[in-house]
Structure 1
Amino acid sequence: MTLRLATRQDWIFAKLITEEMHGSALLRGCGISKRSPISVIRKMIEGKAVIAVTSGNHWAGFSYIETYENNSFVSNSGLIVSPVFRQCGVAKAIKQSVFDLSRKLYPSAKIFSITTGSAVMKLNTRLGFEPVTYSEITTEKKFWNGCKSCVNYQTLLGKDCKNCFCTAMLYTPASDEPQEQENESELEHCK
């Protein structure tokens, strides 16, 4: 199996990927923003997606990134693994790869992920994400409009996009000076 940056030649997998995203969400009984094959192809062409493909040229997994607020925020989105390849470490490898891509393309951006899945929450935690309130991630309408196809969209609107069933998680790049050192220097000043 090969894990790599998706390219325009991977368009052949777009419909299968989006169908699996939707079908998987229905089976889990949870909401998900429905993606179109065209939106997935666009991410492939832009160089903002990773894909796992077998030596027989079958897709095994996929994820992409989206930017908001002039590249201040990056979302890691659409993580999906083909049912045949689940429980094999594919999701973990893709999550790491899409996170690395986010850091490479947008090194100073805050990276966020919203999910209802405990497995994704665990993967995010291992990468340094922390649970946050919705007010700490992007406020850009484009992001929240992506939730329109989710079964829980009315709940989100009813709470003025400040809360829903998904857990928001945020990775904040380290500043030049770690927080512990700042606190230590403040204590030294008080001696």
Structure 2
Amino acid sequence: MEIEISSSIHLMYVSEIQQEMYDSAQRRGTGIAKRSIEYLSKKITEGNAVVATDKGKWVGFCYIETWSHGQFVANSGLIVSPEFRHLGVATLIKDKVFTLSRNKYPNAKIFGLTTGLAVMKINSDLGYKPVIYSELTQDEEFWNGCKSCVNYDILMKKERKNCLCTAMLFVPENIKNSAGKSQSENQYNNEQESSFSI
């Protein structure tokens, strides 16, 4: 299996990725902001996504988006093909997209919204902490992306203070160890040297 930063060669998987994002949310009965084929295609061609494949078959996906003029980066849309679940693929993809985010935006706060316990655990292992929504970007365009979520009414009734998703945030300068580097940054540096092919 290969886990790579995306390029135009991965566009062949975009319809399958979009469909699995939707189907997975339906099966779990949770909300997910729908993304168009055009939106996902742009992420892929710009190199702002990570795609996992195995012998020409799509395995998993996640993309990054910047907000508030690069002060915040979201790692979003994490999805793994059903036949490759429970094999640790999501963790490898999140590691790779986290590294991509840190390389492109080293001073940005990295955040995510999720209802998934497994994603919360992965984020926690990377150094994210649960936060209240006011600590996230207040960029209107980000919150407009929630409009297609089935839980959007809840978000608005709560005046964007909380919803069913848990907000998690990684702040580069917050997690320092005795060597003066964050634990997650040490992990990030180690990951840069390791291969993501298994």
Which residue number corresponds to residue 189 of structure 1?
none
Give the distance between the partners of 2:74 and 2:176, measured in 1 at CA: 24
Q: Which runs of 5+ in 2 are unaligned?
A: 180-198
Q: Which amino acid aligns with 1:117?
A: G
Q: RMSD in angstroms over aligned alpha carbons?
A: 1.6
Give 3-state SS (helix, strand or coil) of 1:3's partner. Answer: strand
How much does 1:180 deviate?
8.2
Q: Which amino acid aligns with 2:142?
A: F
Which residue number corresponds to residue 156 of structure 1?
155
Give 3-state SS (helix, strand or coil) of 2:77's partner. Answer: strand
Report whether the alignment pairs 1:174 with 2:173: yes
Cα deviation, 1:134-168, whole Å, max 9, x if unaligned, reads: 00010001111111110000111111211100000
Matches within 5 A, 1:79-98: 79-98=78-97
Give the distance between the partners of 1:36 and 1:156, measured in 2 at CA: 22
Q: Which amino acid aligns with 2:16?
A: L
Stretches of 4+ aligned residues off by more than 4 angstroms: 177-181
Matches within 5 A, 1:63-74: 63-74=62-73
Which residue number corresponds to residue 109 of structure 1?
108
Identity %: 51
Q: Which amino acid aligns with 2:94?
A: K
Give 3-state SS (helix, strand or coil) of 1:112's partner. Answer: strand
How much does 1:52 deviate?
0.3
Q: Which has the larger radius of gyration?
A: 1
8 Å Cα contact 1:51-1:60 kept in structure 2: yes
How much does 1:179 deviate?
8.9
Q: Which amino acid aligns with 1:93?
A: L
Give the distance between the partners of 2:105 and 2:156, measured in 1 at CA: 30
Which residue number corresponds to residue 184 of structure 2?
none
Q: Which amino acid aligns with 1:100?
A: T
Give 3-state SS (helix, strand or coil) of 1:147's partner. Answer: helix
8 Å Cα contact 1:14-1:38 kept in structure 2: no
Count the aligned residue pairs. 179
Bigger shift: residues 130-139 or 35-44 = 35-44
* TM-score, normalisation: structure 1: 0.90
Task: Check 1:161–1:8 CA distance in 2 against 1; reply closer, same or farther (3 A cut).
Answer: same
Q: Which runs of 5+ in 1 are unaligned?
A: 182-191
Which residue number corresponds to residue 51 of structure 1?
51
Report whether the alignment pairs 1:38 with 2:38: yes
Give the distance between the partners of 1:43 and 1:63, measured in 2 at CA: 10
